[in-house]
Structure 1
Amino acid sequence: MEKPPRLQLDRDAWIQAALDTLADEGVTGVRVEVLAKRLHVTKGSFYWHFKDRQDLLSGVLETWKDGRIRDIVKQTRPTGDEEAQIFHVIDVYSASRNRKGILIELAMREWARRDATAALIVEEVDAWRLRCARELFLASGMPMHEASTRSMLLYAYVFGVSMMNCEKFDGDIARMKDDIRQLIACNRPTTTPPQT
């Protein structure tokens, strides 16, 4: 009986397995033995691509950062109808997203609490998120201070709602989410001010 050909893994496959493990177990679970078992290969394959575990962790941070920034830039690229684009960004990031993506985000933030390098990467990604969103608000005609405030509010909302199970909070959660979208995105008051 012929043996099946040996699986050839590249650096990216190891990094993806590390990201999956990070989502499931946090950074302490990202160990060479665990990844080799998960990938059904020997540890020797790992050392072909990485100097050591720290080299892998650096690759994980860079891969996550590059992917997040690329996605942020893509989602916030002005389209000529900036208000519609802001609604799109809110919808994309506050929708029921990939559960693994949320878990990776949480694991990255937990890692950043204990590791200065991870903290710098998370801070850089957050700065990109806020700057790109602010540019959309500015392009829609808002002054700088309001654009900055709304960009922070946008991300506070999308991250908060991704971690909450609020479906039973109110009978009309869809209406609440739409009201929140309006409050964040609109360049005009959402209600008529009282007459004096």
Structure 2
Amino acid sequence: MTASEAFAVPQEQSEPARRTGRLSVDDWVRAALDLLVRDGVAAVRITRLCEELHVTKGSFYWHFTDINGLMEAVADHWCDTQNTSMGALVDLGSMAPRDRLETMTAALVGDRSWAVENAIREWARSNVIVADTVRRLDRLVFSVVQEALLELGFDHAEARLRAGALVYAGIGFLHARDSLDTPTADEIRSIFWVITARPDA
């Protein structure tokens, strides 16, 4: 499970606002999120955003006192969307355990997913609100994976070890993407099946 869906910036929503110059708080938040994902949190500056949105700084200051106000809004938005993601994770409990795990594993594939996860985890180093939400989501992901493995018949200790291997592998894929070949969807599924296969089955 990743944050990629929460960070998508639909062009059909943002383009009309850019043409008319009438930007909402949501337009600014989406633009800041998109810039954060593309170039990192240090790139999110008022001047840069105004250039990309083709508006003056007056448009920014109509909604926010300073860049910190915008970043607080971005953090609040991201945390809200992740709370929704957590609810969706809990809802996966109605699926068969292997289907549940494969659904979560599939979320690792895709350029937007990798970019968003890397950007958010980097941002979490300097934002305690984001860091807390990342931590809670990681723990929930671990719990859901471990529960699925228990349902597959692993004992508690083995389910914990295998859940750790899957979750850490997912996080590792994010950090190693620029230096190692990106695993394909089939390769990720193969790793998934190796970890979830019971030796006695």
Which TM bucket (shorter chain)? 0.7 to 0.9
1:55 corresponding residue in structure 2: 69
Change in CA separation of 1:80 and 1:6 when aligned onto 2, cut-off 3 Å: closer
Name the SS for the 1:9 alignment partner.
coil
Change in CA separation of 1:142 and 1:51 when aligned onto 2, cut-off 3 Å: farther
2:118 corresponding residue in structure 1: 106
- Rounded Cα–Cα distance in structure 1 between residues aligned with 2:115 and 2:107: 14
2:120 partner letter: M
Q: CA RMSD in A?
A: 3.1
- Rounded Cα–Cα distance in structure 2 between residues aligned with 1:59 and 1:49: 11
TM-score, normalised relative to structure 2: 0.72
Change in CA separation of 1:179 and 1:59 when aligned onto 2, cut-off 3 Å: same
Residue ranges of structure 2 left out of the alignment (5+ in a row): 1-18
Post-superposition offset of 1:29: 0.8
CA contact under 8 A between 1:61 and 1:121: conserved in structure 2?
Answer: no
1:155 corresponding residue in structure 2: 167
- Rounded Cα–Cα distance in structure 2 between residues aligned with 1:49 and 1:152: 43
Bigger radius of gyration among the two? 1
- Rounded Cα–Cα distance in structure 2 between residues aligned with 1:74 and 1:183: 26
Aligned length: 180
**Candidates 183, 188, 195, aligned match of 2:194:** 183
Alignment of 1:88 with 2:103, yes or no, is yes
CA contact under 8 A between 2:79 and 2:133: conserved in structure 1?
Answer: yes
Output aligned runs, 1:1-196, within 5 Å: 6-74=20-88, 77-90=92-105, 92-95=106-109, 97=110, 99-162=111-174, 163-164=176-177, 165-166=180-181, 176-186=187-197, 188-189=198-199
- Rounded Cα–Cα distance in structure 2 between residues aligned with 1:45 and 1:132: 43
Post-superposition offset of 1:139: 4.3
CA contact under 8 A between 1:134 and 1:148: conserved in structure 2?
Answer: yes
Once the two structures are aligned, what percentage of the paired residues are identical?
30
Moved more, 35-44 or 71-80: 71-80
Per-residue CA deviation, residues 40-73 of structure 1 (Å, 9 max, x unaligned), is 1222222232232112112222222333342354
Higher helix share: 2
Name the SS for the 1:114 alignment partner.
coil
- Rounded Cα–Cα distance in structure 2 between residues aligned with 1:179 and 1:40: 46
> Per chain length, whose mean CA-contact separation is higher, i.e. which structure has more relative contact order (CA < 8 Å, sep 6+)?
2
Change in CA separation of 1:112 and 1:178 when aligned onto 2, cut-off 3 Å: closer
1:152 partner letter: G
Residue ranges of structure 1 left out of the alignment (5+ in a row): none
Change in CA separation of 1:69 and 1:136 when aligned onto 2, cut-off 3 Å: farther
TM-score, normalised relative to structure 1: 0.73
CA contact under 8 A between 1:86 and 1:136: conserved in structure 2?
Answer: yes
